[in-house]
Each structure stands twice: as C-alpha cells, then as structure tokens.
Amino acid sequence: MENQRSAELSGGFPGIVGLGHAYAASGQRDEALKIIAKMEEQTKSGNTKPSLGLAIIYAGLNDKDKAFEWLEKSFQRRDEGILYLKCQPYFDNLHSDARYADLLKRIGFAETLESTGRTR
C-alpha cells in the first residue's frame, strides 16, 4: 500500500496521517485507532503538528466530535494547515455540521464568501 510506504519514508509524519485516514475510510478501525494512539502520544511530548492530522483520521472514522475537537486545537494552536480546511476532501463529511461553518467563519473564510457572493 502506498500510504504504508509513505509513512515509512516520511519518518511517520505526515505519511502516517494518510495511512490512518486510509485505514479509517476503508473500515479498518482498529488500525486507524492504533495510529491515533501513536499520534496522541506525540502531542503529549509537546509536538503540536498532529492536531490537524488527528482531525483528518477522526473525520475518516466519521467521529465528528473528535474531529472537531482536534480541528479546534489546530485552530487554537494556529496550525497553518487549518487554512486548507475548506479545500481538504478529508473533511467533506463535516460540511453539514454547524461547527464547520462556525470554524470557517472564525478562520476568516465567511467574509471572503460573503464578499464574493459565492457559497460553500
């Protein structure tokens, strides 16, 4: 699997995020949860990068509450990856949730949408 090789070559991050999401989206919940546990351990050591990655994997598991929890942490930590929230297909299943629109607004995308007259 390409995602497994990517995880190996990247030293774990960001390739491990793609692998975790692939496991989650393909119904391999236990494997995805193992990756989540590994990444959450990284956050305890002060590494802030896994925030968005964890949101991606939780979104793949369709665990919206946990996905938004980690998206919020990513927003609070000013993770530059949060700027890609709107265009990341990983989060498509979150679009109908009111928390998604709220987060977009807090990031600053709502003003952009309103000024152009376009919708999501």
In this prediction, residue 25 has a pLDDT band, given cuts at 50, 70 and 90, of very high
Residue 107: which residues within 8 A CB-CB, separation 6 or more?
75, 82, 83, 85
Distance CA 16, CA 19 (A): 5
The pLDDT tens digits for 43-101 are 777 765 678 999 999 999 999 999 999 999 999 988 888 998 989 999 999 999 999 99
For 42, other C-beta atoms within 10 Å of its C-beta total 17
In this prediction, residue 12 has a pLDDT band, given cuts at 50, 70 and 90, of low
Residue 100: predicted pLDDT: 96
The predicted model gives 22-28 an average pLDDT of 95
Residue 107 CA: distances (Å) to CA of 82, 85, 87, 99, 100: 8, 9, 13, 12, 11
Residue 43: predicted pLDDT: 74
Residue 118: predicted pLDDT: 46
